[in-house]
Amino acid sequence: MADAKIREVFTVNGQEVTLALEANDTLLTALRNNGYTEVKNGCSEGQCGACIVQLDGRPVNSCQALALSAKKKKITTSKGIGNYARVSVIQEAYVEAGAVQCGFCIPGFIVTTDALLRENPNPSDEEIRFYLSGNLCRCTGYVKIIDAVKLAASRMKKA
Amino acid sequence: MLRKDLRWFFPEKPDEIPAILKNEAKAAFHAGGTSILRTKPESITALIDLGGLGWNTIRADGSAVVIGAMATFNDVIKSTASKAATFRMLQAALARAASNSVRNRITIGGSLADYAPWSDLIAPLVALEADVVYLEDGKGEKKVSVTDFIGKKLAKEKNCIREVRIPEKEIVFAVKRLARTAFEYGMFSLAVCGKYSGGAFESVAIALSGTKDRYARLAEAEKVLTGKPLSDALAREAADTIKVEFAPDVNFGAEYKANMVGVYLRDALAEIAGRK
Work out how many domains chain A is built from and give that number. 2
Q: Considering only CA atoms, which of B191, B198, B248 is closest in space to residue B221?
A: B191
A32: in domain: yes
In whole angstroms, give the CA distance from residue A57 to residue A27. 15
Q: What mean pLDDT comes out for the span B244-272?
A: 95
In whole angstroms, give the CA distance from residue A140 to residue A152. 18
State which residues form the domain around A115: 81-158
Is the ipTM of this structure higher than 0.85?
Answer: yes
What pTM was computed for the model?
0.95
In whole angstroms, give the CA distance from residue A132 to residue A155. 19
In this structure, are A92 and A68 located in the same domain? no
Which CATH number among 3.20.20.190, 3.30.160.20, 3.40.980.10, 3.30.390.50 corresponds to the domain B172-272?
3.30.390.50
A1: in domain: no
A125 CA: distance to closest CA in chain B (Å): 15
In whole angstroms, give the CA distance from residue A109 to residue B99. 13
Consecutive H or E run containing B36: helix B34-39
Contacts of A69 in chain B (CB under 8 A): 30, 33, 49, 51
Quote the pLDDT of residue B228.
Answer: 98
Consecutive H or E run containing B85: helix B85-94
Quote the pLDDT of residue B276.
Answer: 61
In this structure, are A60 and A19 located in the same domain? yes
CB pairs under 8 A between A and B: 78
Q: Residues A71-99: pLDDT tens digits? A: 999 999 999 999 999 999 999 999 999 99
Can you give the three-state secondary structure of chain A, one letter per residue?
A: CCCCCEEEEEEECCEEEEEEECCCCEHHHHHHHCCCCCCCCCCCCCCCCCCEEEECCEEEEHHHCEHHHHCCCEEECHHHHCCCCCCCHHHHHHHHCCCCCCCCCHHHHHHHHHHHHHHCCCCCHHHHHHHHHHCCCCCCCCHHHHHHHHHHHHHHHHC
In this structure, are A52 and A114 located in the same domain? no
> Which residue, of A16, A47, A77, is where some domain finishes?
A77
Domain ranges of chain B: 7-49, 58-167, 172-272
Is residue B167 within 8 Å of B205, Cβ to Cβ? no
In this structure, are A40 and A103 located in the same domain? no
Write phi, then psi, for A98 (nearest 5 degrees): 70, 35
Q: Residues B27-53: pLDDT tens digits? A: 999 999 999 998 889 999 999 999 999
Contact B6 A24 (CB under 8 A): yes
In this structure, are A72 and A39 located in the same domain? yes
Quote the pLDDT of residue B174.
Answer: 98
Q: How far apart are the first and last CA of chain A?
A: 42
Contact B3 A24 (CB under 8 A): yes
Residue B73 sits at the vertex; the CA angle it makes with B72 and B76, to the nearest 5 degrees, is 90
A21 CA: distance to closest CA in chain B (Å): 10
Q: Which of A59, A63, A65 sits opposite B100 (nearest CB)?
A: A59
Q: What mean pLDDT comes out for the span B229-240?
A: 98
Looking at the complex, does the CB of residue A18 fall below 8 Å from at least one CB of chain B?
Answer: no
In this structure, are A89 and A131 located in the same domain? yes
* B→A interface, C-beta within 8 Å: 1-8, 30, 32-34, 36-37, 47, 49, 51-52, 74, 98-102, 104-105, 182-183
In this structure, are A87 and A151 located in the same domain? yes
Q: Does the structure show a pLDDT above 60 at A2? A: no
Instruction: Establish whether domains B58-167 and B172-272 are of one fold.
Output: no
In this structure, are A62 and A96 located in the same domain? no
In this structure, are A58 and A91 located in the same domain? no
Is residue B150 within 8 Å of B131, Cβ to Cβ? no
In this structure, are A73 and A85 located in the same domain? no
The CATH number of the domain covering residues in B58-167: 3.30.465.10
Is residue B203 within 8 Å of B226, Cβ to Cβ? yes
Contacts of A27 in chain B (CB under 8 A): none
The A residues from 20 to 59 touching B (CB cutoff 8 Å) are: 22-24, 26, 46-47, 49, 52, 55, 58-59
Task: Give the burial class of B23: count Cβ atoms within 10 A of its Cβ; 0-12 exposed, 13-18 middle, 19 or more buried.
Answer: exposed
Chain B residue nearest residue A112, CA to CA: B101
